[in-house]
Amino acid sequence: MCGIVGYIGSKNCVPILVEGLKRLEYRGYDSAGLGILSNGKSTIVKKKGKVSELEKIIDGKNLIASIGIGHTRWATHGLPNEINAHPHPNSDESILVIHNGIIENYRNLKTLLQKQGYEFKSETDTEVLAHLIDSFYKMGNTLFKSVRLALAEVEGTYGIAVLSKNEPDKIIIAKHGSPLVLGLGDKENFIASDINALIGHTTRVVYLEDGEVAEVYNDRFYTKTIQDEEIKKEVFEITMKLDAIDKNGFDTFMLKEIMEQPESVLNSMRGRLLFDEGTAKLGGLEEVIEKLSKAKRFIITACGTSWHSALVGEYMFEQFLRVPTEVEYASEFRYRNPIINSDDAIFFISQSGETADTLAAMKEAKRKGVLCLGICNAVGSTIARESDAGVYIHAGPEIGVASTKAFTSQLVVLALITLLIARKKDLSLIDGQNIVKEFLTIPEKVKKILLLNDQIEKIADEFKHVDNFLYLGRGYNFPVALEGALKLKEISYIHAEGYPAAEMKHGPIALVDENMPVIFIAPKDSTYDKIMSNIEEIKARKGKIIAIASESDDRIDKIVDYTIKVPDTIRMLMPILTVIPLQLLAYHIAIKKGLNVDQPRNLAKSVTVE
């Protein structure tokens, strides 16, 4: 949600800022703007809509400056329009502020500032920051100190960047609960809410932690806490290349990422499988593996697609580890005062590693002294840094808002964790080696499923005009039904629901008629006969049936309207395969409806506010 970019150096910052904003478009936004300092003046340009619309305005203004900040806004307080777009200035536009997050006590602060004579033009919480910083600046404080003093009054989350035409040689940045990274160059420095905006400019980055404020010049920076304590920051190297965030000839990022899954699932398991020992090697868990093998309960907490992968993880943990496992929505976990014991272990799953609710859940768990383990994709993300231990999924950058390859890679990593702990407990060498063998077949099986793309596109053409879908699965494939329904909702705006197949008789079957398409995830496993009975029940009510079935299954073809066949594998790995046709089906339906699958309405890639 929202995006921040900034530049200070000797180059014209305007094209750098625009390029950075374009690289952050995938995060979700509804307006964009930038602010620059030049010749003792501040200039703000803002526009509702896409960055391309902002760029049209900029092209006609011949703007040149060596310091500036840019922002893409996802509306929280106030409608998406030019007035509410960032940057927000103080009264004389000498101070400019951009902000990600939510200021929870902004109403009280606004009332106090209005009593001091400040007038507000927008409906946003961010404008409060501009005036609050100004109020401290007018007391004779430096900009750096004014920002620190202002933030000491603030409750909520923020990632901010601040300029002042009275101190035009610096940018002040600060973070609490919303990601912010500083990119270090040669007599130039960059600021962003996501390292994607920095790729191609620098490989050296500094991650701000919560409660930190930095004063950034073109050739140096200083960092303090809000309480004025100096901090020495570590510099990290990033290795990501530009082609990793390009479409590489595909029409959309989503299709590119679906088609990358043979490589992404391979990368998730690369170097981590030990056939001779029938186990997995996960360096990030080495120091805690004894604790994990003795845990009395596992909790997995996540949001959205990651929550669906957590549900699959629950099946894995309970089947192979025989340890009670609970899956929690992070947004609920953080507020309901959960019962946590010292011998529990809690996994936190987040593609971005910055999901606000998941981070808050982790902080609550850490406060209670329990073992906290991160599973995320983004290297250097907050969850990766703050967890006690964890595993990267190594899926590569995922730009499309609707997660695809990150989901399958999360499943791979959960299966690797299961194998590792199971071998520490009572899984035999032979059984472990059989699982490793099957792991190694998965990339080729994924590749084989992707060859069905044309077939799936034809099925999509039949259903692009429907209003509702029902997705049904059992066991390991119940979470796949949930994920398939979510993908369709996210990008095609068609209402869809996922259910355990047996639960359809407890309500959803009332919806079934000749106009209701029903998707069954029905591979040949221990639930096959039961799900075939469910298919017959839908068939008797004239529902249109699409089945995701095993290649070896000839029986199912006779009773369903459409079949999409996937290779067989063991139960714990089957969701990696059965979900891919559902990703492609959702994709093609949305494309045939003329929709933007990479940036679906109202959604953001990284949900950094509640």
3-243: in CATH 3.50.50.60:
no
Q: Is the dihedral of CA 320, 321, 322, 327 positive or negative?
A: negative
**pLDDT on residue 25:** 80
In single-letter form, the type of residue at position 329 comes to Y
pLDDT at position 77 over 80: no
Identify the helix (H) or strand (E) that includes residue 182.
strand 181-184
**pLDDT on residue 483:** 98
Distance, CA of 540 to CA of 205 (rounded, Å): 61
Question: What's the mean pLDDT in 76-93?
Answer: 88
pLDDT at position 8 over 80: yes
Q: Predicted confidence band at 322 (pLDDT cuts at 50, 70, 90)?
A: very high
pLDDT at position 576 over 90: yes
Nearest CA among 496, 501, 559, 561 for reference residue 525: 501
Q: Predicted confidence band at 79 (pLDDT cuts at 50, 70, 90)?
A: confident
Distance, CA of 119 to CA of 125 (rounded, Å): 13
State the chain's mean pLDDT as an integer.
Answer: 92
Cβ atoms of 331 and 353 within 8 Å: the answer is no
> Which tokens hold the place of 393?
């999924």
Q: Predicted confidence band at 604 (pLDDT cuts at 50, 70, 90)?
A: low
**pLDDT on residue 512:** 81
Write the CA distances from 208 to 176, 231, 381, integer angstroms.
9, 10, 10
Cβ atoms of 7 and 579 within 8 Å: the answer is no
**pLDDT on residue 382:** 87
Q: Predicted confidence band at 242 (pLDDT cuts at 50, 70, 90)?
A: low
Domain boundaries, the chain: 3-243, 247-450, 452-596
Cβ atoms of 51 and 3 within 8 Å: the answer is no
For the chain, helix, strand, coil in percent to 5 are 40, 25, 35
pLDDT at position 485 over 60: yes
Question: What's the mean pLDDT in 103-125?
Answer: 93
Q: Predicted confidence band at 60 (pLDDT cuts at 50, 70, 90)?
A: confident
**pLDDT on residue 343:** 93
Task: Tell me whether domains 3-243 and 247-450 share a fold.
Answer: no
**pLDDT on residue 219:** 93
pLDDT at position 241 over 80: no
**pLDDT on residue 509:** 81
**pLDDT on residue 194:** 85
Question: Do strands 562-566 and 3-8 pair parallel, antiparallel, or not at all (unpaired)?
Answer: unpaired
pLDDT at position 1 over 70: no
Upper half-sphere CA count for residue 579 (Cβ side, 13 Å): 33
**pLDDT on residue 606:** 58
pLDDT at position 73 over 90: no
**pLDDT on residue 367:** 87
Catalytic residue IDs? 2, 605
Question: What's the mean pLDDT in 569-592?
Answer: 97
224-237, pLDDT tens digit by residue? 999 999 999 999 88
**pLDDT on residue 136:** 97
Q: Predicted confidence band at 9 (pLDDT cuts at 50, 70, 90)?
A: very high
Which phi and psi (to 5°) does residue 466 adopt? Answer: -75, 160
397-453, pLDDT tens digit by residue? 888 889 999 999 999 999 999 999 999 999 999 999 999 999 999 999 999 999 999
pLDDT at position 189 over 70: yes
Question: What's the mean pLDDT in 546-567?
Answer: 95
**pLDDT on residue 74:** 76
286-295, pLDDT tens digit by residue? 999 999 999 9
Q: Predicted confidence band at 607 (pLDDT cuts at 50, 70, 90)?
A: low
Pick the CATH number of 452-596 from 3.40.50.10490, 3.40.50.1000, 3.30.70.260, 1.20.1250.20: 3.40.50.10490
Pick the CATH number of 247-450 from 3.40.50.970, 3.40.50.10490, 3.40.50.10190, 3.20.20.70: 3.40.50.10490
Distance, CA of 50 to CA of 31 (rounded, Å): 6
Q: Is the dihedral of CA 145, 147, 148, 150 positive or negative?
A: positive
Question: What's the mean pLDDT in 66-83?
Answer: 86
